[in-house]
Amino acid sequence: MRVGVVAVQGDVSEHVDAVRAAMKAGGFSGDTVTVRRRGDLAGCHALTIPGGESTTISKLLVRSGVFEDIVRRAAEGMPILGTCAGCILLAKEGDDQVRQTHTKLLALMDMAVDRNAFGRQRESFEAAVPVDGMDPPFRAVFIRAPAITRVWGACEPLARLGDAIVLARQGDLWGACFHPELSGDLRIHQAFLERV
Ligand code: GLN
């Protein structure tokens, strides 16, 4: 399998490493492909969208035309895992900041996000979050993290921290407010790859 990693800004190399490690651990053969330009997605069976700065990632994706490619491939059923900024971009609804910065969202998942919900309180922290269907603990790294404030339709919450939803899944689309690519716990990546 070939898994694309959006490589325009953010923690790209960490995503590449985590996907490769999860493939190895799960016994999947395949490799990663960095996605920067139109057409890079063509040979990919799945995609991850890293953390970083959602406004910047969105602008660069729109400018290159990759934004449209992602929306089209998602409609065809391509699995996508978005972490942090990537999770923000997957949402259908953003907060005031998303609107004020005219950040174009991919609008693929039935969820609303608050872009800097945890960032305002503490820039970054680690927490053990219980994830549905996985043995606890799942060590989650939060960096200026968003929160999923609401889900509807086909989107299901899989983990919460306080009042916030921090992991959600809609079919083969996964949005994580934290960074599973940073904690060394590859179970979310493996669950994602199993469906590819
Ligand atoms: N809150 C950031 C944003 O708006 C995301 C932070 C992250 O990806 N670590 O883009």
CATH code (residue 66): 3.40.50.880
Binning pLDDT at 50, 70 and 90, where does residue 124 land? Answer: very high
Per-residue pLDDT for 172 more than 90?
A: yes
What domain range includes position 187? Answer: 2-194
Binning pLDDT at 50, 70 and 90, where does residue 123 land? Answer: confident
Q: How far is CA 116 from CA 1, 141, 191, in A?
A: 34, 15, 27
For residue 48, which of 105, 90, 77 has the smallest C-alpha distance? 90
Per-residue pLDDT for 120 more than 80?
A: no
Locate the ligand 1 atom nearest the alpha carbon of residue 146 and give its number: 1
pLDDT of residue 130: 96
Per-residue pLDDT for 170 more than 80?
A: yes
* pLDDT > 90: percent of the chain: 97
Per-residue pLDDT for 122 more than 90?
A: no
Pocket test for ligand 1, best of 6, 55, 95, 115 (most atoms within 8 A of CB): 115
Rounded mean pLDDT of 96-125? Answer: 94
Q: How far is CA 123 from CA 38, 119, 175, 185, in A?
A: 34, 5, 20, 21
pLDDT of residue 119: 82
Pocket test for ligand 1, best of 8, 83, 116, 122 (most atoms within 8 A of CB): 116
Residues in the ligand 1 pocket, defined by CB under 6 Å: 51-54, 84-85, 88, 115-116, 119, 143-144, 146
Q: What is the mean pLDDT of the chain?
A: 96
Write out the two tokens for 150.
Answer: 């609401």
Q: What is the pLDDT of residues 68-100, one digit of tens each?
A: 999 999 999 999 999 999 999 999 999 999 999
Rounded mean pLDDT of 17-41? Answer: 96
pTM, to two decimals: 0.97
Number of domains in the chain: 1
Per-residue pLDDT for 21 more than 80?
A: yes
Catalytic positions, written as ranges: 84, 179, 181
* pLDDT > 70: percent of the chain: 99
